[in-house]
Amino acid sequence: MEESGSNFIHDIIEADLKEGRVTNIVTRFPPEPNGYLHIGSAKAIWINYTAAKKYGGKFNLRYDDTNPVKEDDEFVRSIEEDLNWLGAVPTGGIFYGSDYFDKCYEFAEKLIMDKKAFVCDLTQEQMSEYRGTLTEPGKDSPYKNRSVEENLDLFRRMKAGEFADGEKTLRAIIDMSSPNMNMRDPVIYRIIHANHHRQGNKWCIYPMYDFAHPIQDALEGITHSLCSIEFENHRPLYDWVIDNIGFEQKPHQYEFARLNMTYTVMSKRYLRKLVETKTVDGWDDPRMPTLCGLRRRGYTPSAIFEFISRSGVSKTYSMADSGFLEYCICEELNETALRRIAIKEPLKVIITNYPEGKTEYFEMPNHPKKPELGTRSLPFGREIYIERSDFEKEQILGFIRLIPGGEVRLMGAYILKCTNVICGADGEVLSLEGTVDLETRNNKPIDGRKVKGTIHWLSLQHCIDTQIREYNHLFNRENVANLLEDDNFNEFINPDSLVIYENCKAEKALEGAKDGERFQFVRSGYFTPDSKYNGVFNRIAPLKSSYKPE
């Protein structure tokens, strides 16, 4: 992973280093293991990882596993796998928020003893009523004046499991009239009787993220806690926790605009719904914005980070064009992908003037602009396949491929003339007959006639069967995230988000292609073998992106 260029976060870090506020940079990525990472997560990873790398610091992975109801080891494994694939190795180590539960509990008791926290019996609905509004202050809980002794006793009994879920909470004592709603005596502990994926049944009370996160940052020596902009209003509470617990080494939180992208959603809730309703083929469906989905589709870490880097880092909301991500992968694969031939909808052609049983070979470049990548031999015989879309029964304006009586160049081989069209009872073209000009093996016609069209082909006897899947936008609206509700989900699914071509043909050089290899199918697009199903190639992107960079 390349180091990032300068941005406002780097300006902050450089000022902190210059003025001696910090000496060693430590950043972290704190995902909750309740789903799979997506490309928005990749932005947070890239920002934190490259900042630490640029300034010779350390980068931590810390699982935010403070809610046992939604978390699972499956997601823990997938997150680490995604980071390794991206190349963002946690140089500072791998940690779990649950490892700090004892310290969080200890600090919660400290706040109680300092008269800065109390046990509250209000229900969630009652707390919402007491909280007030953006224009009206809240009012104190009737339980706010409990004594230190009573609060400690109740909190310890909460920990011992004496109370039901939601029966009591521990709340910080701050200011119910604060203009910042997050500072109106927020809940810092709640009761959840559930099995934790790492702690089992040791705990039945769990710290809220806003309480646990700053403690975890401080204990790990995080210097710059970099997070998305929705946490900006939580920063005063972050600082309050740090200050009132009394950490000498104080981390600071800085926010950046999260990554939003057209024609998709980043909400884990909606992504999970796509999976649970089987709208998609799992979290790794190539139409999903998840990193495992992008990996299965054939995207590379370098293209993803190029897209993120060039999209910029700021505090301003923006919507990135998904076409730009496609542009970045096309730009990379145009330089790196080996060329191969595959035919989505094969049409058989019998070459009547070519000897039966004869096979000859044509050398094809693996990359037309990189001779150092060598060539491969493509066999040619009496029966070949061409793409059905390369033939029309009648001349159409602008169509320069094969028509009855017309000629085209077979890529790297002979000039082919169509002499006969075999159709079924319904008029469907079943096959073609034709002749080749045997004097035109990699040469121009001797008589000087002009042949405009060039098409690709495969020998019928020397190709393999495969399936080709072309993926398009999953949703049919550009800014779909603002339109989705639980009951209108299917209304915005693009019916053409997946187009499957059965009975495709491919050259034998693609036989045994490995997971992660990427190819340009000539005149078609960029493809990779599917990691889930054998004999399937997924389209990464079309040959040319429709996106035009400024």
Between the two ends of the chain, the Cα-to-Cα distance in Å is: 25
| Distance of alpha carbon 429 from alpha carbon 454, whole angstroms | 21
Tell me if 65 sits within 8 A of 163, measured CB to CB: no
d(CA 284, CA 282): 5
Segment holding 328, helix H or strand E: helix 322-336
- Catalytic (active-site) positions: 32, 258, 268
Q: 480 near 267, Cβ under 8 Å?
A: no
Other Cβ atoms less than 10 A from the Cβ of 369: the count is 8
Q: Looking at the domain 8-256, which fold is it? A: Rossmann fold (3.40.50)
- Regions in the chain scoring below 70 on pLDDT: 1-5
- Contacts by 440-448, CB closer than 8 A, 24 or more apart: 440/409, 440/414, 440/415, 441/413, 441/414, 442/362, 442/412, 442/413, 445/415
From CA 271, how far away is CA 274, in angstroms rounded?
A: 5
423 forms beta bridges with 429
Q: Where are the domains of the chain?
A: 8-256, 268-339+466-542, 342-455
What is the structure's pLDDT at 547? 86
pLDDT digits (tens, 9 = 90+) for 168-215: 999 999 999 999 999 999 999 999 999 999 999 999 999 999 999 999
Instruction: Tell me yes or no: is domain 342-455 CATH 2.40.240.10.
Output: yes
What is the predicted pLDDT for the residue at 1? 58
Please report how the helices 209-220 and 101-113 are oriented relative to each other, as an axis angle in degrees rounded to 10: 110
* Alpha-helix residue ranges (DSSP H) falling in 60-100: 73-86
Contact 64, 31 (CB under 8 A): yes
**415-423 and 498-507: which strand pairing?**
unpaired
Q: Look up the pTM and report it.
A: 0.93
Q: Are strands 536-542 and 525-529 parallel, antiparallel or unpaired?
A: antiparallel
pLDDT of residue 445: 85
Write down the architecture of domain 268-339+466-542 according to CATH.
Orthogonal Bundle (1.10)
DSSP β-bridge partners for residue 384:
349, 459
Q: Which residue bears the tokens 């002499």?
A: 419
Count of CA atoms in the C-beta half-sphere (13 A) of 488: 7
pLDDT for 443: 83
